[in-house]
Amino acid sequence: KLNMEETMKSLLDDSFESAMTLTNSGAPQVPGRYVLPPSQRPALGSSLGTREITLPIIDLSLLHEPLLRSSVIQEINMACKEFGFFQVINHGIPPSVVRDALDAATQFFDLPVEEKMLLVSADVHKPVRYGTSLNHSTDRVHYWRDFIKHYSYPLSKWIDMWPSNPPCYKDKVGKYAEATHVLHKQLIEAISESLGLEKDYLQEQTEEGSQVMAVNCYPACPEPEITLGMPPHSDFGSLTILLQSSQGLQIMDSNKNWISVPYIEGALIVQLGDQVEVMSNGIYKSVIHRVTVNKDYKRLSFASLHSLPLHKRISPAPELVGNNAPAYGEFSFNDFLDYISSNDCVQQRFIDTLKKSNS
């Protein structure tokens, strides 16, 4: 006789089929649940659907040059205003740390299904969670993506709950998580400064903040024209540091055109999240982005999502609101998690629920 737990688990196993499993089975087509309505398809290769334009690249080592810092801050200001996005080079994270993290992730996703299922959950409040699509149990359309997400700061609090297979995972991904946490502090300072705020304005608020690492795997897909790896969305945190193993990310520009983000060896991507949009009172906007997949190879990414402490509410900075009414209501990371547990965030973005009608 099966006990309750086992029954639940086998039920879950039945409804759960990862993108990796599908790719490995060699299916010539994607199952119907992955097929997007024509208006939401990525229009790969069409010059109308995507455009190549020059996106900002910032050399972070120049932030440490007293004579150059203010011009780098100015570049960051322009990138944040125009795109809510930029790439960084000379960011200080050694290539070997990046390589090791990608290697550990590759090994994790290559594990047998049963091993990964030990960490599966549909509960977005879980600190460690393996899954596929966005949420396999509630998604109406599915996305060609497997992931493992884990809380990552403070590292010692969470690392024991991380995957114990492959054996190198905790060490290699842990080093990368620590390095991104250091980098995010420099970025938050520079972004505060670029808004004309005190350098430590956000720092104070993010000191005990959270870091969630989403490790994403987009296996080769038989029909990349009719599906996506992730739907259009913005990230909830203050900022996201994204590492990609190859091209696939697209961002939406102010004319609502999709722009493919070029792969630059050694670079990391910085994306503004909803908390910076609210804090800046809309001077900066969080960037809307999506992920395309391809026929030929697997793409990996690490999205390190930095945000305020779970229950801390963020609101527009009084210095930036001036005498006007604030354009946004306040919110916390926990409010966001509650929202995505009970709403379809592909239909409506969480941040739109915070906008005041006077803005």
Cβ-based nearer residue to ligand OGA, 190 or 303: 303
* Cα distances (Å, whole numbers) of residue 338 to 123, 295, 315, 331: 11, 35, 18, 11
Q: How far apart are CA 147 and CA 129, in angstroms?
A: 8
Q: Quick one: which segment of 23-31, 234-242, 272-280, 320-328 binds Ni ion (CB under 5 A)?
A: 234-242
* Cα distances (Å, whole numbers) of residue 264 to 243, 244, 246: 10, 9, 9
Give the H/E segment covering residue 82: helix 69-82
Cα dihedral 102, 59, 56, 292, rounded to 10, equals 0
Q: Quick one: which segment of 88-96, 173-181, 244-252, 276-284 binds ligand OGA (CB under 6 A)?
A: 244-252
SS3 category, 243: strand
Question: Among 129, 170, 184, 289, which residue sits at the site for ligand OGA (rule: CB under 6 A)?
Answer: 289
277 binds Ni ion (CB under 5 A): no
- Nearest distance from residue 29's CB to Ni ion, in Å? 27
Q: Which tokens in the block code for residue 276?
A: 């910076």
Q: Quick one: which segment of 11-19, 65-73, 172-180, 231-239 binds Ni ion (CB under 5 A)?
A: 231-239
303 binds ligand OGA (CB under 6 A): yes
235 binds Ni ion (CB under 5 A): yes
Taking alpha carbons only, the member of 291, 348, 347, 351 closest to residue 140 is 347
249 binds ligand OGA (CB under 6 A): yes
Strand partners, 289: 233, 251
216 binds ligand OGA (CB under 6 A): yes
Q: How far apart are CA 42 and CA 232, in angstroms?
A: 11
Q: How far apart are CA 218 and CA 206, in angstroms?
A: 31
Cβ-based nearer residue to ligand OGA, 146 or 189: 146
- Nearest distance from residue 230's CB to Ni ion, in Å? 7
293 binds ligand OGA (CB under 6 A): no
- Nearest distance from residue 242's CB to ligand OGA, in Å? 6
Question: Among 202, 228, 291, 317, which residue sits at the site for ligand OGA (rule: CB under 6 A)?
Answer: 291
For ligand OGA, the binding residues in 2-41 under the rule CB under 6 A are none
Total site size for Ni ion, rule CB under 5 A: 1
Q: Quick one: which segment of 61-69, 186-194, 229-237, 313-321 binds Ni ion (CB under 5 A)?
A: 229-237
The b-or-e profile of 320-339 (16+ CB within 10 A means b, else e) is bbeeeebbbeebbbebbeeb
Q: Which residues bind ligand OGA (CB under 6 A)?
A: 214, 216, 230, 235, 242, 244, 248-249, 289, 291, 301, 303
